[in-house]
Structure 1
């Protein structure tokens, strides 16, 4: 019998990973072993994949495993589908998007201003798991968000609504939705002032909804009976890990390329000069999820961004042969080269969407430089986690390409150093961060060879 302190399970859309941790209460925590198996959503029970991953762990360790507790994160049911509705697209809606993406939700529809009948019909077709209603700074304009509450009242009977708008309209908005038979949760305004973002209260509520949502993955209710504490979104766990690590080593960028999505997490301060040029504030910790960029489930979307002729020449194959190279675990040299190309394309595309840029506009006093989006120029560390970047030999080279070319207007890292989460423990560390922060930090440092 092999005794360990904690098993940390990460139940992904493609694979299920189990980490066995020892020495959790000591100054020298260690990864004792790691088991991996395909996620078994399509088999109708995700516990099958978890059991297979534990069996693989026991095979590696050469003995059955006895553990004190098990904790878990999940993305097996897919991210939450969310629609976001605010007052001004570039302000309130932007803040709402930050809150949603930071908590593991996928944005399917965004509106600014008064909702139209067509907008409401679109929301009904999407059938989101959550509607996020925002709008107006505190004690500012409130008629728009009140009108939007009336428009969404019918849908609120079956779709929970989070209200994160003007506090002066809170009581009236909640009354409109509640009187229509809807479930509404009110939190602090995501954009209380023009120069302030306040996304954490909304993120927390989205986490709560996600915890209920993941029970929809077949067999997930059994896992909830097995684990201690909350099952949190895997992207949320990685963000927790990134925040903890940033306190120890400085500003960082974390990329997680998976089978279905590519997640980008940054925890970094803006350069003061660029900060003075920003047209709207950015959060210290930002996450974007690219639901169309995956190297297995969504490989077709990434291929659409590639130069197919160049790829086929590189692989010495015909276009119709590419599909045969798509696999969750690339083994042959051709499969690995194909996965490298997809991963490289996903990373480049996802980072370009996450990072801001400098633009030039002309006004009464001539040409002015303005900045939009997240400033990554001061990022010290570019970190790769997730199956693709930690398992491919080319992971370091792919991430080195994230640094900005000379004279680039993109607000990309200028001289970021690459670290690879070689033990694939960042999500696990994020799960441990609240209860065992010292152990979580040390596990990451060990994995990153810091």
Structure 2
């Protein structure tokens, strides 16, 4: 019998992974083993996949397994469908999006200003799991958000929970409008209280709470809740938690996960003072973006569209029509791995460019001047690869190193970052572990990253 302290389950939409950790309480944490199996949503019970992953781990260890605690993250029920509504796109809506993406929600609609009939019709067709209503700095313009609350109350089903994260002066009135119509309303601090300040953590926490209730929609998830200690957190939220913990230890960083369907980018980085001086709107310390069109299997066609097919085929010694034969969720042959590696490089480069900000030159009364928009990654020290593509393909380290930009570029990409690989594929699990055992979680990540 193999005994471990903590088993962390990551229940994904296609694969369930379990990580066994020992030495947590003794101060010498280590990864004992990792097992995985297909997630069994389509079989009507995700616990079947969990049992399969544990069985695979036991086969790896050569004996039955026992544990004192089980923790979990999940994306098996899909991310939260969310709509976001604010006053000015570059301000409150942007801040609300940052809070939502950092918590693992999928943004299906963003509006600025008063909600139109078309907006309300689209919200009804989306049928979101949560509506985020924001708008106005504290004690500034409040009529727009009040009008939006009235229109939502008159049109949308009150079964959809609403987070209010707007102008403090309108909080009580918005709450009364929605709650009197039967809506569940959670009022939190304004995401944009001042023109130069973002406050997104209170909103993130509430989205996490809603996610935990939503996740039971995956068949059999209620059984897993009975098995675990603590709450189920969204897997993207776990990665962000791990990135923030690691940032405290090693400094500014970016974590990239190139997957079969999407590419996620998490950054935890300070803005360079010179960039901050010309930044149009503030950026959060921790930022997440999800590129839903960039993946090396499900969305490989979108990545191929960004490639030079002639050069690609020349490199692989094949014809364009033969590329489809090289596409596989688990590359085995040398050609399959090389093809997946090329797609990984393109997806990673495209995703980080979309994540990063840039410097633009505009003309005003005093002539040409520089302004900065978006996230500044120029001072990032570490580019960290996690997920299957970057950790299991030979190209991982090289793909990350290529993401450094040349000095003088107008794109705010890293300049001299070092590449690190999550060799044990444990960053998401460490993020879950960090809720109870942050010191152990940090040590486990450093072991995996070889630092």
TM bucket by the smaller chain?
Answer: over 0.9
| Structure 2 unmatched runs, 5+ | none
In the alignment, which residue of structure 2 is the partner of 1:17? 17
Which whole-Å deviations, capped at 9, do the CAs of 1:258-306 have from their partners, x for residues lacking one?
A: 2232111111111111111100111111111222222233333333333
Gap change, CA 1:418 and 1:341, over 3 Å in 2: same
Please tell me whether the aligned partners of residues 100 and 107 of structure 1 are also in contact (alpha carbons under 8 angstroms): yes
CA separation in 2, counterparts of 1:427 and 1:342? Answer: 23
In the alignment, which residue of structure 2 is the partner of 1:422? 423
TM-superposed deviation, 1:193: 0.6
| Structure 2 counterparts to residues 44-443 of structure 1, below 5 A | 44-153=44-153, 154-443=155-444
CA separation in 2, counterparts of 1:191 and 1:226? Answer: 39
Please tell me whether the aligned partners of residues 263 and 350 of structure 1 are also in contact (alpha carbons under 8 angstroms): yes
TM-superposed deviation, 1:38: 2.0
Which whole-Å deviations, capped at 9, do the CAs of 1:59-89 have from their partners, x for residues lacking one?
A: 1100010111111111122211111110000
Gap change, CA 1:129 and 1:319, over 3 Å in 2: farther
CA separation in 1, counterparts of 2:297 and 2:9? Answer: 21
What secondary structure is seen at the aligned counterpart in 2 of 1:193?
A: coil
The aligned length equals: 450
Dislocated runs of 4+, deviation >4 Å = none
| Structure 1 unmatched runs, 5+ | none
| Alignment root-mean-square deviation, CA | 1.4
CA separation in 2, counterparts of 1:260 and 1:75? Answer: 13
What secondary structure is seen at the aligned counterpart in 1 of 2:24?
A: coil
In the alignment, which residue of structure 2 is the partner of 1:31? 31
CA separation in 1, counterparts of 2:261 and 2:370? Answer: 37
Gap change, CA 1:50 and 1:9, over 3 Å in 2: same
What secondary structure is seen at the aligned counterpart in 2 of 1:20?
A: strand
TM-superposed deviation, 1:318: 4.0
Please tell me whether the aligned partners of residues 174 and 184 of structure 1 are also in contact (alpha carbons under 8 angstroms): yes
Give TM-score, length-normalised by structure 1.
Answer: 0.97
TM-superposed deviation, 1:106: 1.1
CA separation in 2, counterparts of 1:294 and 1:12? Answer: 16
Please tell me whether the aligned partners of residues 13 and 260 of structure 1 are also in contact (alpha carbons under 8 angstroms): no
TM-superposed deviation, 1:328: 2.4
